[in-house]
Structure 1
Amino acid sequence: MTMTVRDLRPQDPADVEAFAHVRHLAVPFMLWTPAGVLHRLVHTDPDAHYRCLVTEEDGEVTGTAQIGLAHDSPEPGQGYLNIYVRPDRTRRGAGALLVRTAEEHLAAHGATRLFSWVLDEPQNRVFAERRDYRPSRSAYFLRLDLTNGTLPPLQPLPPGVELRTAADFADDPRPFFELDAETTGDEPSDVEAELTDYEAWIEETWKHPLLDRALTTIAVVDGRPAAFSAAHTDGAGRYATAMTGTARAFRGRGLAKLAKNASLHRARAAGCTEAFTGNDAGNEPMLAINKWFGYEIRATEVRHVRELA
Structure 2
Amino acid sequence: MSSDPSVTVHRLRPDASEDCEAFARIREEALPFILMTGEALAHDLLHSPPEAHYEPLLARVDGEAVGSAQVGLVHDSPQPGQAYLNIYVRPSHEGRGAGTALVRAAEKRLREVGARDVYSWVLDTPANRAFAERRGYRPGRSAHFLRLDLTEGSLPPLQSAPPGVEVIPGTDFVSDPRPLFALDAETMADEPSDIDYELTDYESWLRGTWNHPLTSKELTSVVLVEGRPAAFTMVRTNSGTRYGTMMTGTARAYRGRGLAKLAKNDSLHRARAAGFTEALTGNDDGNGPMLAINKWFGYEICGTEVHHVRAFG
TM-score normalised according to structure 1 size: 0.99
Equivalent residue number for residue 228 of structure 2: 224
Measure, in 2, the Cα distance between the counterparts of 1:292 and 1:35: 34
Q: Does 1:109 align with 2:113?
A: yes
Q: Amino acid of the residue matched to residue 118 of structure 1?
A: V
Superposed, 1:130-209 pairs within 5 Å as 130-209=134-213
Indicate conservation of the 8 Å contact 2:15/2:42, yes or no: no
* Letter aligned with residue 280 of structure 2: F
In structure 1, what residue type is equivalent to 2:312?
Answer: L
Q: Pairwise CA RMSD of aligned residues?
A: 0.9
Preserved CA contact (<8 Å) 2:17 2:42? no
- 2:33 is matched with which residue? 29
AA of the residue aligned to 1:294: G
Q: Work out the CA distance in 2 between the residues paired with 1:2 and 1:149.
A: 49
Map 1:88-107 to 2 at 5 A: 88-107=92-111
Preserved CA contact (<8 Å) 1:149 1:294: no
Matched-pair contact (CA < 8 Å) for 2:14–2:43: no
- The question of whether the paired residues in 2 share the 8 Å contact of 1:116 and 1:304 is answered with yes
In structure 2, the gaps of 5 or more residues are: none
Aligned equivalent of 1:87? 91
Is the Cα contact below 8 Å between 2:231 and 2:250 reproduced in 1? yes
- 1:49 equivalent to 2:53? Answer yes
One-letter code aligned to 1:285: P
Corresponding pairs, count: 309
Counterpart of 1:39 in structure 2 is: 43
Kept after mapping to 2: 8 A contact 1:16/1:38: yes
Matched, 1:71 2:89: no
Match of 1:249 in 2: 253
Partners of 2:210 and 2:125 lie apart in 1 by 35
Q: In the aligned structure 1, how far is the partner of 2:178 from the partner of 2:128?
A: 41
The 2-side partners of 1:141 and 1:294 are apart by: 13
Q: Give the letter aligned to residue 51 of structure 1.
A: E
8 Å CA contact 1:47–1:71 kept in 2: the answer is: yes
Structure 2 counterpart of 1:119: 123
Cα offset, 1:149, TM superposition: 4.4
Note the alpha carbon deviations across 1:175-226, whole angstroms, 9 max, x for none. Answer: 1111111111111111111111111111111110010001000000011100
The residue type equivalent to 1:138 in the other structure is: S
How far did residue 108 of structure 1 move?
Answer: 1.0
Q: Which is further off, 31-40 or 17-26?
A: 31-40
